[in-house]
Amino acid sequence: MIILHALTAEFWNSYEEKDNYGDKSLEQYGFIHCSDIATYKYVAPNFKNETKEMVLLLIDTNKVIPEILWEDLDNCGIQFPHIYGLLNKDAVVGVLPHLWSEDRIWIMNEELIHI
């Protein structure tokens, strides 16, 4: 299964030379927050005011080494995948630009429609 993680392109590029990703998320939240493709539309509005270029990491859950728990920590009625440990970057099978409409509504990438 493919899950998504959103971040700025600049931040992702800062991990280019590293084997793992997520130390900052683990320090702040205790996990790396992700979503599946169907529920990302609920997460995207959290980034609508971000002025830097953003990307979506496509993460293959079959390749992730740390534990992934599906949780509804906000009691919103939706469970999201949380990665409890550093993400081994070989589980990232793609990086897509985060697309926005003029009104800052997320536009699903064509590549995600066919997954």
pLDDT in tens, 48-78: 999 999 999 999 999 999 999 999 998 999 9
Tell me the three-class secondary structure of 52-72, residue by residue: CCEEEEEEECCCCCCEEEEEC
Which domains, ranges and CATH numbers included, belong to the chain? 2-113 (3.20.170.20)
- How many other CB atoms are there within 10 angstroms of residue 72's CB atom? 10
28: phi then psi, degrees, rounded to nearest 5 = -80, -45
Radius of gyration over every alpha carbon of the chain, rounded to an integer in angstroms? 14
pLDDT at 115 over 90: no
Confidence of residue 36 (pLDDT cuts 50, 70, 90): very high
Confidence of residue 101 (pLDDT cuts 50, 70, 90): very high
Instruction: Name the pTM for this structure.
Output: 0.95
In the predicted model, what is the mean pLDDT of the chain? Answer: 96
106: phi then psi, degrees, rounded to nearest 5 = -65, 135
Identify the pLDDT of residue 100.
97
